[in-house]
Amino acid sequence: MSLRQKLLLMFSLTVIVSVATVGWTVSMRVRKVFDQLYQQQTAQLVNQFQSELDQRAKGVADTLSSVAGSERMLRISQEVALTGESGAYVTDAGSFAHENHLDYLEIVGADGNIISSSQWPARFGYHEPAIDGPPGHSFLKLEDMPDGGVSVGLFAVRKVGNSESGVTLVGGRSLDQASVSELPLPPGTSLYFYGSEDVSSSGSLNGPPDKLLNASAFQGVVQRVRASGAPASSIIYITRDRADSVNATAIPLKSDKGQVLAVVVIATARRGMVEVQNHIRSIAFGIASGGILFAIAASLWIASRVSRPIEELAAVSESVAAGQWDAQVKIERRWLGKDEISVLQESYNHMTGQLVSQRDKLVQTERVAAWRELARRLAHELKNPLFPLQLTVENLIRARQLDQGEFDEVFQESTRTLGMEIANLKTIIGRFSDFSRMPKPEFDRIDACEAMRRVFTLYSAASQEHGSHIQFKLDLPGRTILISADAELLHRALSNLVLNAMDSMEDMDTDGILNLSVFMTGAKVFMRIADSGKGMSAEERDRIFTPYYTTKEFGTGLGLAIVQSVVADHHGTISVESSEGRGSAFMIEFPAAPGEEETA
Amino acid sequence: MFQRFAVKSATALLLAASLPIANARTRPHYGGTLRIETQADAWQRFASPVRRLVFEGLTRVDGAGGLRPALATEWKSDSEEHRWRFQVRTGVHFHDASAVTATALAGALQQSCTENCPWTVVRAVGTEVVFTSDAAMPNLPALLAGDAFLIQHPSSNGGVDGTGPFEVSGFSNGVITLKANVDHWAGRPFVDAIEVRTRRSIADQWADVEAARADIVEVPAEKLRQAKQQRLTVLESRSVELLALQVRSTGALSNVNLRRAVACAVDRGALFNVIFQKEGEVTGSLTPHWMTGYSFLFPLERDLNKAQALRGGAAPPVVTLSADSSDATLQLIAGRIELNLREAGFNVQPVQKGGRQEADLILKMLPLEVGESGAAVESLQRAFDAHAFSKPPMTSVTAEEQAQAMLRFEREVVANAAVIPLLYLPRAYGIGSRVRDIHLNLDASIDLADSSLEESK
């Protein structure tokens, strides 16, 4: 990751974390405020609902008192008490209930058995347990219905007349969604009534149908209330949109015995709160986005001041590392000497300047050393033939004192010697000339194996003819390996290496082994020439490719230099592995010809 | 023999009951308009007081339960009652003045019965209407007196005409006006006209009769006691209706033990004592003793333990129950039966009558044809669904042997619980103070032949 990216990331993270912290804090505070408001509102609604329930209970009691005091009911009571016959009134509860807007009304005889029931007319003769309770107050009660269901109602019990053998009324009004929906509610608040078909079961809810909320929406909280008997609250998510959610508070409605008969759910929409939270979040996102943009701008500015010069410095350093030692960092004049970066750039440029200067000096020194070496080598090479020449000429001068016959014999001998040595001088000069005039390779697609085989054939046969004790070994793959090379130059280089190897094994007491091999790895072709000769010291190994360096008595020191030159001209490399007494191995690496890749 | 004695005894009792009314005025006079009010449609079958004033059958049942000639003057059977010949009364005309002929009667009878008929073929032969059947038809004359076979003749104005003592003269604002048929073969009735107000609630009818705005009003069996307590003048028939549960022997109650469990679970006593306030009669048989002359013992008390034992431990499938939804009393009874069955461990589900699938239990109120025991059973067989139980055995034997055969047949039907008889119920009417000499025939039809109206004061 670049310095610029790090700076950008650091700035952005700082802004985001700051804004997120502020946004979260504000959002939580808003939520807390809304929760408090919701709790106050719920408490108010609970009180309102309780008050409404009390009002309705009073209404039921009053209505029942009115029915009990009616002339018709008193007559029924008297006649039942007098005759004991109640069959004539089996359907009367229905008409009383209808006239007095009661959902439930049962006329119960002195024996506690139902004479007439409005809600379940066929239940006459059955015992009504509510009659056994204390009369006078209103209470919640589950009422079995003919369809097999159970409904919840607000009931009261009233005795008709004063006669002990008279009838008693058990009547009430149902509590259901329709009845609670009459309560005035603040906007965004709904009231839901959940009765139960079986109070002991946590099963079916017969709550209200709703476009957004179905009965199962509050099932969890309702079941919790049914199980615990205590109010419970929960957040209900209606859709995936957080705004479509409600704060639900479920309140149990209990019988006198504490049995939960129904549950009222007060649901307050959280849309307002969620929208405020979303608004805050949007603002936070906006600020964060602005902050990030600011961070980008700031990082760009700082980059222009800090990271760009450093990046340029890095780029220049890479150039220097690549060999372009004269690379310089551009320094803006306005910042020159004003900050650390410009000082660094200036120092760097000074350093590269110094480096170039030192290199030039070194090159000059090396060039001088090379010339000296060349001069020394030339002097050495030329000195050897010059000495016989000098002796021969001096011998000729002395021979002038001899008689003609002896002089002629000496003269002929001397001129032959002079010719030989002059030819030797020509040979030496020709070698130097050759090295200075190495031809450019003419590339062709040739088989590296064939090139190695050619060298093998040539020198193994020659070696056998001369009775050499060197054993030649050739290791080639069973296919052609094409490289792009000049066949003659390559042959010359390989020959040079083979001859060097043979020379290194010439004076050995034991039989030498010369291994010639070619192999391919990936897109590279390797030609290896390894001998079991005397090997090289570390110093020799480091210098063998230096021109005019030789370990041989009559070597020019140009053989391996020529080999290296040929290999380099073929875009290849040459390396050597050697240690004293263990032989040497030269490895030439060429790129494979286009389309020639190793096939496994 | 015993049957005849029973019918005659009942008739004597009924006549004795109506004596005070008959003796109140000794000189009836013609004229006046009789006002009848009904709760339902005036032309509905069985319980309508009006149908029999307009339409007549080939035979009729008199006040004593005897079979009397009506549109047929006499009838004879041959081929061991496989063939019956009814001689058509001559000189009788429909209300549109067309003559009553054997052809017209045969056509009307064919129209009245399209399936499960007592006969195989009915046709006119000269002045006779001839019925033939593959089986013996010992009850045919009695059956032809029934409400189902009243002669209805297509009139020239697109309606139907009868031959009864009254003919339809108008209809407006829910009031059907009938005028006296002065050419009636039995002589013209005393009253000139009858106004029939339909769709009146029972409470309104009773208020009208008390305020002298109506002369004849209906008294349902469940309100009979109340009517008596209110000092309404009530004309009450013998038990002429059967309240029963028809049990489908396929489906949920295909097991006879389950059907018997249903029979044991039903609390007839609650229906009799509370809903009908001890009016009518609890029954375990299809036809009442007074009508057939025989009776058999059948446990009428509810036996919940036996019902549960018969039902067995396994929970039975849902048993559906239906009753006429327009009849509040039948709905109440159905509700009570549902409660009874639930206590016996049945899972009962009320369904609408005439729904997509026939209910397992159908509560029915059916008329009992007065006459021979076989006729009553045969008419019930047709009134219940055809597959409720098979036709009773029809053999041309003595009346006593026929009664024994009917007894065995009824016992088999009841034991099989294909039908669970619950109550016999009477039919009753509230009579206004200005009506005199009115009485009911044994089949509960109103006989206005001798009745007249007092002059308005």
Count the Cβ atoms, other than its own, within 10 Å of residue A589: 17
Let me know whether B418 and B278 are in one domain: yes
What pLDDT sits at residue B393? 67
B198 domain residue, yes or no: no
What whole-number distance in Å separates Cα of residue A12 and Cα of residue A10?
Answer: 6
In this prediction the ipTM stands at 0.77
How close is the nearest chain B Cα to the Cα of A271, in Å?
45
- Select the residue of B274, B338, B350 nearest A124 (Cβ to Cβ): B274
The helix/strand count (H/E) of chain A reads as 13, 16
- Can you tell me which residue has the tokens 């009788």? B92
Chain centre distance of CA B224:
17
How close is the nearest chain B Cα to the Cα of A144, in Å?
12
In tens, the pLDDT along B66-125 reads 888 999 999 998 877 889 999 999 999 998 888 999 999 999 999 888 777 889 899 999
Let me know whether B251 and B139 are in one domain: no
A441 at interface of B, judged by CB pairs closer than 8 A? no
B304 domain residue, yes or no: yes
Count of domains observed in chain A = 3
Let me know whether A149 and A87 are in one domain: yes
A200 domain residue, yes or no: no
CB contact under 8 A, A88 and B226: yes
- Can you tell me which residue has the tokens 């390989």? A494
What pLDDT sits at residue B336? 93
What pLDDT sits at residue B16? 41
CATH number of the domain within which B85 lies: 3.90.76.10
- Select the residue of A87, A122, A147 nearest B336 (Cβ to Cβ): A122
CB contact under 8 A, B274 and A90: yes
Let me know whether A350 and A419 are in one domain: yes
What whole-number distance in Å separates Cα of residue A259 and Cα of residue A199?
Answer: 8
Tell me the residue length of chain A.
Answer: 600
Average pLDDT of the segment spanning A151-179: 84
Q: Which structure tokens are listed for A102?
A: 């009661």
A600 domain residue, yes or no: no
Let me know whether B254 and B118 are in one domain: no
- Select the residue of A85, A123, A147 nearest B339 (Cβ to Cβ): A123
Mean pLDDT of chain B: 82
Let me know whether B419 and B318 are in one domain: yes
Nearest to A94 by CA among A56, A166, A146: A146
B141 domain residue, yes or no: yes
Among A405, A437, A469, give the residue marking a domain's end.
Answer: A437
- Can you tell me which residue has the tokens 């990271």? A307
Tell me the residue length of chain B.
Answer: 457
Count the Cβ atoms, other than its own, within 10 Å of residue B13: 12
- Residue B272: which pLDDT band, with cuts at 50, 70 and 90? very high
Let me know whether A456 and A432 are in one domain: no
What pLDDT sits at residue B130? 94
Among B110, B132, B152, give the residue marking a domain's end.
Answer: B152
A430 domain residue, yes or no: yes
CB contact under 8 A, B274 and A120: no
CB B25 within 8 A of CB B454: yes
Among A437, A466, A486, give the residue marking a domain's end.
Answer: A437
Chain centre distance of CA B306:
33
A507 domain residue, yes or no: yes
Let me know whether A496 and A535 are in one domain: yes
Let me know whether A587 and A465 are in one domain: yes
Let me know whether A528 and A562 are in one domain: yes
How close is the nearest chain A Cα to the Cα of B67, in Å?
37
pLDDT reading at A179 higher than 80: no
Let me know whether A433 and A458 are in one domain: no
Residues 6+ apart with CB under 8 A from A390: none
What whole-number distance in Å separates Cα of residue A268 and Cα of residue A234?
Answer: 11
CATH number of the domain within which A466 lies: 3.30.565.10
From chain B, the residues in CB contact with A147 under 8 A are 350
Its pTM stands at 0.62
- Residue B373: which pLDDT band, with cuts at 50, 70 and 90? low
In tens, the pLDDT along B340-359 reads 998 888 888 888 876 667 88
From chain A, the residues in CB contact with B276 under 8 A are 87
B131 domain residue, yes or no: yes
- Its domain, for residue B324, covers 238-426
- Select the residue of A87, A120, A146 nearest B277 (Cβ to Cβ): A87
In tens, the pLDDT along A555-582 reads 767 788 888 888 988 889 999 999 888 8
Q: What is the DSSP string of A466-520?
A: TT--PEEEEE--SS--EEEE-HHHHHHHHHHHHHHHHHHHHT-SSPPEEEEEEEE
B375 domain residue, yes or no: yes
CATH number of the domain within which A338 lies: 1.10.287
Let me know whether A426 and A337 are in one domain: yes
Nearest to B412 by CA among B242, B252, B286, B257: B286
Count of domains observed in chain B = 2
Secondary structure E strands in B329-404: 348-350, 361-367
Return the CA Rg of chain B: 22
B82 domain residue, yes or no: yes
Among B152, B172, B194, give the residue marking a domain's end.
Answer: B152
A388 domain residue, yes or no: yes
What pLDDT sits at residue A286? 85
Let me know whether B255 and B398 are in one domain: yes
From chain A, the residues in CB contact with B339 under 8 A are 122-123, 126
Q: What are residue A586's DSSP bridge partners? A: A529, A576
- Its domain, for residue A451, covers 444-591
Identify which of A89-103, A370-384, A495-509, B59-73 has the greatest average pLDDT.
A89-103
**Higher-scoring residue by pLDDT: A130, A445:** A445
Let me know whether A458 and A580 are in one domain: yes
What pLDDT sits at residue A574? 92
From chain A, the residues in CB contact with B336 under 8 A are 122, 124
What whole-number distance in Å separates Cα of residue B127 and Cα of residue B86?
Answer: 8
A87 at interface of B, judged by CB pairs closer than 8 A? yes
A308 domain residue, yes or no: no
> What DSSP character marks residue A393?
H
**Higher-scoring residue by pLDDT: A548, B252:** B252
Among A107, A141, A175, give the residue marking a domain's end.
Answer: A175
CB A88 within 8 A of CB B226: yes
CB contact under 8 A, A146 and B336: no
A533 domain residue, yes or no: yes
Of the candidate ranges B123-132, B258-267, B346-355, the one whose mean pLDDT is the lowest: B346-355
A355 domain residue, yes or no: yes
What whole-number distance in Å separates Cα of residue B189 and Cα of residue B166?
Answer: 8
CB A204 within 8 A of CB A197: yes
Mean pLDDT of chain A: 82
Let me know whether A367 and A461 are in one domain: no
Let me know whether A365 and A398 are in one domain: yes
B262 domain residue, yes or no: yes
What whole-number distance in Å separates Cα of residue B301 and Cα of residue A161?
Answer: 35
Mutation site, A75, A111, A124, interface B, largest B CB count within 10 A: A124
CATH number of the domain within which B358 lies: 3.10.105.10
B374 domain residue, yes or no: yes
A123 at interface of B, judged by CB pairs closer than 8 A? yes
Let me know whether A345 and A456 are in one domain: no
- Residue A200: which pLDDT band, with cuts at 50, 70 and 90? very low
What pLDDT sits at residue A212? 46
Query: Considering only alpha carbons, which residue of chain B is nearest residue A123?
Result: B336
Let me know whether B298 and B418 are in one domain: yes
CATH number of the domain within which A162 lies: 3.30.450.20
